[in-house]
Chain A
Amino acid sequence: MTLLSVEGLTVELPGSARPVLDTVHLRVAAGEVVGLVGESGSGKSVTARSALGLLPARAHVTGRVLVEGKDLVGADAARLREVRTSVASMVFQDPRAGINPVRRIGDFLAEPLRLVKGWSRRQAEARALELLAAVGLPDPPRHLRQYPHQLSGGMLQRVMIAGALAGEPKLLLCDEPTTALDVSTQAEILALLGALQRERGLGMLLITHDIELAAATCDRVYVMYAGRIVEEASAADLFGSPRHPYTRGLLGSTPPLTGPMERLHPVPGAPMSLAESAPGCAFAARCAFAEPGRCDQAPPGLLPLPAAAVPSTAAADPTGSADRRAACFRVAELPAVVTSEVAP
């Protein structure tokens, strides 16, 4: 059974010109690491939060969010609590904002276990020690008595991950878990998340603005733009042969660390805000390939790539294109791109 299946989720907020999410389809299976890539305002965080039933209060919501086959949209408090305490949990971007600064680490970890599971203080503390050890912190008994300000950002993010593991979830939602951290700390946290994910067979949704990070760590990647999924591909395909012009733009915007240094070809303009809308493809205004009269009429659907648009290796495998989708009218006509290898 698919752990998380978001089906045609549309979220509209009063006062915004376009939906925050527009017919989003996304799934995460057990044991799978899925990336969700997008820039600010693309809706990636709202999508992740929907898996916990955390949608904005005044939002008009259509579509379904199935967690272990049961819909969370309009679910009652008991079901939401069940999902949040024992099926899915979230690791947020900034551990300093996500962990109460005036409570000890031990309280942060033990309190939910005592309140939700009704465990005794001693049971909950023993579990908290296990969790701190599981996330690789050096001295669990000491950390239990420490306050958040006594730990570095990387250590505190480990505490946040320990907290997310407390309910033995099957689905771990990581919302920019390393964006607030140093680059070498980022590697540590992703090594930890990867190890935990494999050991426990977790399904993981990694939300990030860093397409290279998603390509390096995920099995499958979704790219979001202005509330819509614009491309879905395996990490290797996405990186090796991006199809949607926006995905290409993202890859072309990152300067390479090796190889020839050519002038960057940035996507002109800025990501679409909630105050803007477009009748057709939301990316058309910034797209070098947009065709007036075609791209600006109605939004393109997220469709499997036509055979001609799939690179020959994948086309040879009849199932190869099943996981490759793009929302672009011109996807079949665009020249195939060759991205240079960036690995040192």
Chain B
Amino acid sequence: MTALLEVSGLRKAYGATTAVDGVSFTLPPGGALGLVGESGSGKTTTARMLVGLEQPDSGSITVLGRPLAARVRGRAARLARAKAVQIVFQDPYLSLDARLTIGATLDAVLRLHGLGDRAARAARVRELLGQVGLGEREAAALPRHLSGGQRQRAAIARALAVEPAVLVLDEAVSALDVSVQAQVLNVLADIRRDAGIGLVFVSHDFAVVRYVCDEALVLLRGRPVEHRPMAELLAAPEHPYTRLLLDSVPHPGWDPASIAQRRRQLAQ
């Protein structure tokens, strides 16, 4: 079976700073990988390379057996790139067109991707919104009239409208209130089950990654330190940095002082 996404030896440097170095992974159809790390770990740079917003210095990205072109020229190539990988960013305020209603945004995406029939588009818009738990009212609303959670669900629906092979979510639930975050996490769990889409889920939060993903790749200063199935990783983390991240999650009997000490040791 062809892998949905194959990433090999990805490297990106900005001047003297190496942001990403040696990131490789394979995503099977319907798979979900968590990219976990703190600020400066290279997780967002990796995500941006996956959608073509940054060019890797070396390494390759292959979607459904085809390499992602370094340059996209012309309409057909642009649409093909859009169908390969879609992304949902952290802040849905900045990623949705403020002047278009949610319904119009989805309709435009469908039209662009060749769904000519108006009634068919309207039906598909309803279906997409239903998938993320939104309805007629939200379809008629401008982004600014929706709550953060609704906007993020609209952003997910917009990405799904393209029917991409892979959906990249860059800290897509981090800015949401806890009670709303859970709603979006359930939407993501449903999409995985129903759409068979591949997910790359970028997050600093292991609990959230566990809920959405089968495996996780932990990044430290641009380099992968551990890449294993989620259950194994949580049960027996091997790298001291993975252990530090896991223990940093507050829980009853939490001892921040010992975590702080270990963090200093690790930094040396």
A residues apposed to B, CB below 8 Å: 39-40, 153, 182-188, 190-192, 194-195, 209-213, 215-217, 236, 239, 249-250, 252-258, 261, 263-268, 270-271, 273, 286, 341-344
Contact = CB atoms under 8 A, between A and B. Distances in A.
Contact of A217 (B150, B181, B247, B250): B250
**3 closest Cβ contacts across the A-B interface?**
A266-B182, A253-B182, A182-B38
B24 to A, nearest CB: 24
A261 B177 contact: no
Contacts of A183: 38, 204-205, 245, 248-249
Nearest to A271: B177
B137 interface: no
A249 B150 CA distance: 19
Contact of B260 (A188, A211, A342): A188
Interface stretch (B10-18, B47-55, B207-215): B207-215
Contacts of B38: 182-185
A136 to B, nearest CB: 9
Given A190-B256, A255-B211, 6 more contacts: A40-B177, A185-B263, A191-B259, A217-B256, A252-B182, A255-B208
Contacts of A266: 179-183, 185-186
B251 A187 contact: no
B244 interface: yes
Contacts of B179: 39, 249-250, 253, 266-267, 270-271, 286
B147 A270 contact: yes
A211 B248 CA distance: 15
A183 B263 CA distance: 11
A179 to B, nearest CB: 10
Nearest to A195: B257
Contact of B256 (A40, A187, A215): A187
A187 B211 contact: no
B109 to A, nearest CB: 25
A191 B185 contact: no
Contacts of A40: 148, 177
Contacts of B205: 183
Nearest to A249: B179
A264 B211 contact: yes
17 contacts: A187-B263, A188-B260, A191-B260, A212-B250, A217-B250, A217-B254, A253-B182, A254-B178, A255-B185, A257-B210, A258-B234, A263-B189, A264-B185, A266-B181, A266-B183, A268-B183, A270-B147
Interface string B168-204: 0000000001111111011001000000000000001
A184 B234 contact: no
Interface residues of B, number: 40
A254 B207 contact: yes
Given A257-B210, A261-B210, A270-B147, A187 B248 contact: yes
Contacts of A249: 179
A153 B189 CA distance: 33
Nearest to B251: A343
A269 B32 CA distance: 27
Contact of A341 (B206, B246, B252, B263): B252
A39 B39 CA distance: 24
Nearest to A236: B252
Contacts of A253: 178-179, 181-182
Contacts of A239: 252
A216 B251 contact: yes
A204 to B, nearest CB: 14
Contacts of B34: none
Nearest to B255: A191
Contacts of B181: 253, 266
B251 A344 contact: yes
A158 to B, nearest CB: 11
A89 B257 CA distance: 23
A187 B178 contact: no
A236 B251 CA distance: 11
A17 B150 CA distance: 22
B116 interface: no
Nearest to A40: B177
Most buried by A among B38, B178, B185, B259: B178
A212 B183 contact: no
A182 B148 CA distance: 22
Contacts of B178: 39, 209-211, 250, 253-254
B204 A182 contact: yes
Contacts of A182: 38-39, 204
Contacts of B263: 184-185, 187-188
A190 B149 CA distance: 29
Contact of A270 (B150, B254, B260): B150
A21 to B, nearest CB: 19
A340 B61 CA distance: 41
Contacts of A341: 252
Contacts of A210: 178, 250
Contacts of B248: 183-184, 186-187
Contact of B207 (A191, A213, A216, A255): A255
